[in-house]
Structure 1
Amino acid sequence: MRTLVLLAAAAGLMASPAFAQDGTLKKIKETGVFNVSFRESSIPFSYLDDNQKPIGFAKDICDKVVEAVKAELKLPNLEVKYTPVTSATRIPLLANGTIDIECGSTTNNVDRQQQVSFTNTHFLTASAFVSKKSANLTKIDDLKGKTIVSTSGTTNIQQVNNVNTERKLGMNILAAKDHAEAFLMVETGRAVAFVMDDILLASLVASSKAPADYQLSAEAFSMPEPYGIMVRKGDAEFKALVDKTTAALYKSPEGEALYNKWFTSPVPPKGLNFNVPMSAAQKKAFANPSDSADPKSYQ
């Protein structure tokens, strides 16, 4: 089934210019459906709660976009369809029209901007690794010759492959289908470390069976990187609406309140608190909304 989904999604890339030309708003108005995506395990950005309903920081931001689309199209009863995506399927499914907006934890970078567009940055992160404390791994060089894992289709797995080649570390790099599977591989000893965005690693540790058993690396694979919500490339009208909506949210007191709801307060379903206060860079990103992929622009 996963293979069929990937093949269908890849084939759909051929149709993406048509969607961009017609426009997402026109598509939504004609079909009466707004297709919103979510991730199943990207806590606290986008994930499933105990009732298998999507929730999270990015999901709440997209809810604001949903309301803006309803108002723009004068469709108060617009149907909203939620579709799960993975790191591997999110861009193809957006390009072929299966989803209209991607609400998750996707890094905005120059390579991806060739395929999709991003709205204003909603979070800044850096690529690190998590391991068991008993393994005593804190620096990248500590991973030399070891088996590590990252999530398929992410910038993180590209970064770790580049570092592996540049430093001649001889790591055995495995690709997991999602974050939950990758963390499980460390938990069960199939890999010694999981390379991913630091905030996602912190959330996985906090929600694990034994949080005290794990530690995040002291060394990062990257500079701080921006997360953005993806929309189809070439659709200026829809992007403008999403940009306007997110900018207004981030610059208002509601933006900081929403951040605190998910990063400095207990979150469902287990009431975990990640205790990640808003950084100076994050405050700057909210005060001056931008879709820039350049990490230096957020310093």
Structure 2
Amino acid sequence: MKWLAAVFLTTTLWQGAHASEQIASSPTLTRIASAGEITIGHRSSEIPFSYVVDGKPMGYAIDLCLSIINGLSETLGLSELKVSYVPVTPANRFILVRNGEVDIECGVTTNTPERRRQAAFSYPHFLTATRYVSLAEQHMESVQDLAGRSVVSTTGTVNIAQLNELNRTQGLNISVMLSRNHEEAFSMVASGQASAFVMDDILLAGLISSATDPAAFKISQARLSSAEPYGLMMPPDNRVLNLPLAPELAAIFANPEHSIE
């Protein structure tokens, strides 16, 4: 059994040295290890991924982050990491992550080539496409049904760029309106201020499910984009942070019995 003990000791020393290399190569990991604390960026009302109930952030993306933080604690050689929460919006999320005010954003940020120049991303955790919601009584389904209408989307999202590109290339003469958040945009459709709200289809479904009269709204069959992935977002210097995160996410995705509660 001496050889087994020697192998275990050698493996443990290698893992410790490897962890030290990871920490040294990332300013954020160094700070997290020193402080024993990690900051999660969360959304306030993006059901079912990241939202707040009775002052507590929760949702699928939050559960994923809390699960992988356990693995990160082991990598850093800590018994546990204190978790702090910071609310983020589509407009300020990249700024807060880039400035180091948020270590990992646990929400619904789409991982695109352009965004990978601004931040690091985890494995994808969901695929969604851009569609629009309108009042059911309007009987709107296709992209052409948006022509000549007032259409809203949220500031700081990829959906704005997709809507503007569609408007330009197809000559739809859409009056594009900007909202500060998804709830405001959805309310504009409900009140008739806008004919449609362009956004990720899963987020539109969440908003409809929370409406007083869900049957009053309809999500378009037409897509304004191909399916795109959501990823957990980290500061750009933290591509190394994916090393401890990746195995935990892989275990969650590969094993349906793996709990993230």
TM-score by length of 1: 0.76
Indicate yes or no: 2:196 matched with 1:193. yes
| Offset, 1:57 | 0.6
CA positional deviation for 1:20: 10
Q: Secondary structure at the match of 2:137?
A: helix
User: Unaligned stretches of 5+ in structure 2?
Assistant: 1-22
Instruction: Using the TM superposition, give the Cα deviation of residue 21 of structure 1 relative to its aligned residue in structure 2, in angstroms.
Output: 5.8
State the one-letter code of the partner of 1:206: S
Identical-residue share of aligned pairs (%): 40
1:61 to 60, 64, 73: 64
- Counterpart residue number, 2:159: 156
Which residue does 2:34 correspond to in 1?
A: 30
AA in 2 matched with 1:43:
I
Is residue 137 of structure 1 aligned with residue 140 of structure 2? yes
Contact 2:133 2:217 in 1 (8 A): yes
State which of 237, 251, 254 in structure 2 corresponds to 1:248: 251
Question: Within the alignment, does 1:44 sit opposite 2:48 as a pair?
Answer: yes
Q: Does 1:99 align with 2:71?
A: no
- Cα deviation for residue 127 of structure 1 reads 0.4
| CA shift for structure 1 position 31 | 2.3
Distance 2:66 2:253 in 1: 14
1:174-195, Cα deviation, whole Å (9 max, x unpaired) = 1111111111111111111110
Within 5 Å, give how 1:75-114 maps onto structure 2.
75-114=78-117
TM-score, normalised by the number of residues in structure 2:
0.87
1:184 maps to a residue whose letter is: S
Give the match for residue 177 of structure 2: 174
Q: 1:213 aligns with which of 213, 216, 230?
A: 216
Match of 1:230 among 214, 233, 237: 233
Q: Which has the larger radius of gyration?
A: 2
Q: What is the rounded CA distance, in whole Å, between the counterparts of 2:136 and 2:27 in structure 1?
A: 50
Instruction: Count matched residues.
Output: 239
Q: Distance in 2 between matches of 1:250 and 1:195?
A: 29
Give the gaps of 5 or more residues in structure 1.
Answer: 1-18, 262-299
CA distance in 1, matches of 2:63, 2:93: 18
CA distance in 2, matches of 1:33, 1:176: 34
CA distance in 2: counterparts of 1:148 and 1:20, whole angstroms:
48
Q: Higher mean Cα deviation, 191-200 or 75-84?
A: 75-84
RMSD, aligned α-carbons:
1.8
